Amino acid sequence: MLWWRRRTGQGGNRRLTLHIGTPKSGTTHLQARLRAARAELRGAGVLYPGADHPPRDGLNQQGAMYAVAPPEVHWATPVVRANGARQLERLRTELDRHPGHALVSAEVLASFTREAIPILLDALGYPPDSVRVVITSRDVGRLLTSAWQENVKNGATQAMADYLASIAVQRSGGESPFWRAYGLPRLVERWAAVVGMANVVLVTVPSSTASPTAPGSRPRTTDLIPAQASGRPGSGSRLARPPGPRRPAPGGEDLWSRYTRACGLPSIAAPPPARRQEQNLSLSGSQVELLRQVNLILDQEQVPHPERQVLRSHLLQAWMGSAAGGGAPLGLDPEWLPTLRLWASDDRAALDIQHEQGLHLVGTLDDLDPSPVLAVPGSPPPRVTDAAADLLAVLRDLRRQVVSS
């Protein structure tokens, strides 16, 4: 069922769903399933562009977004932007040729400023009143350790304790790269200022500790409902709610079910990716510490950036492709829980207000309550020697695979 449609004087119904997968909210998992279902989606009239194109056979449209990214996306170098311009041209051609519903997914959209959003929509060829924005979000407890780990994978040398302290300082300060991407109320506000609050959907990643309808939960969900477009662009009045009570989301939904419902996609099984390469590898605490120490050495020896990327890639692929290894996952110091709960409470209060203003919710705001993996009090910090032993086991496992092949 199409839960939103745009009508023009010519009777057309070109429309765009922009998926803003906040980093570490299951975005790669969703994109891999979209790519696997691309042909089936096309048969149902939905375009997920980028088939057979790099990177990774059109996993997402991230590269094209760099062409119009604001200066705040500081990692978009001139070379990245130039490559993005070519990808954007190809993407625009695909979108122009498709008469119906198209879906574009990119994590970097979470870092777009209010001023950059109209430029993006113009580059894609859609007016604001034909765009629905779907934001996938994860609780800050699970998010922080994942975000720090991702930074280390990309070359950061900051210890986790220092990283957490810097995030806390940024929270009370001005706009920062971290809170621009992860500060949900402000993220919703920026996009709603352009497309209207009623055209923004917030999808929460199901809690790892309870079902969406667990006893004592306080569900705040809405089903997306068919509505016709009317009103001026950006007014927030284009998708009227029908009278009557809002229906809660079905209990026990996984992220894929919530996501497809939010995007208005047909019911598609799209099995999750079988290869670990199609998911972000989650490292153990000792593995991340070993990689951080490697980054420190690479910095000290002033190894060129491209070579650093290759070396880290080889190390991650060794861990990713082997059944050996493992170790305890990253744990958050329990002392951070009160702070995380305060942040979550503030965000939920703001999102509650936005919900009353027209923001659609798929899932429940209870899913944003912090549920991190906690470190055992008094346990020793991750040791590089543990990761070194783990790496040795991985290399032996790879050697056995080579010998037996």
Spell out the per-residue pLDDT of the chain, length 405, in tens: 333 444 333 335 899 999 999 988 999 999 999 999 999 999 999 999 999 887 778 899 999 999 999 999 998 999 999 999 999 999 999 999 999 999 999 999 999 999 999 999 999 999 999 999 999 999 999 889 889 999 999 899 999 999 999 999 999 876 788 999 999 999 999 999 999 999 999 999 998 643 333 333 344 444 443 332 333 333 333 332 322 333 334 455 899 999 999 999 988 877 776 554 445 667 888 888 888 888 998 898 898 988 988 888 888 877 765 555 556 778 888 999 999 999 999 999 999 999 999 999 999 999 999 988 888 776 777 766 776 776 676 667 666 766 676
Q: Could you tell me which residues come within 8 angstroms of residue 57 by beta carbon, excluding any fewer than 6 positions away?
A: 35, 50, 51
pLDDT of residue 10: 33
Q: Is 259 left (phi over 0), alpha (psi -120 to 50) or beta?
A: alpha
Quote the strand ranges of 32-100, DSSP E: 46-47
Q: Could you tell me which residues come within 8 angstroms of residue 354 by beta carbon, excluding any fewer than 6 positions away?
A: 185, 188, 189, 192, 197
> HSE (CB half, 13 Å, CA atoms) of 210?
18
Q: How many residues in the chain?
A: 405
- Measured CA to CA, the distance from residue 313 to residue 288 in angstroms comes to 14
pLDDT of residue 252: 59
- Cα–Cα distances in angstroms (integers) from residue 293 to residues 170, 287, 372, in the given order: 25, 10, 25
- Looking at 301-372, list the stretches that DSSP marks H as alpha helix, in order from N- to C-terminal side: 305-320, 337-356
Which candidate, 74, 66, 141, 153, places its Cα nearest to that of 107? 66
Q: Is 138 left (phi over 0), alpha (psi -120 to 50) or beta?
A: beta
H-helix or E-strand spanning residue 136: strand 131-137
H-helix or E-strand spanning residue 131: strand 131-137
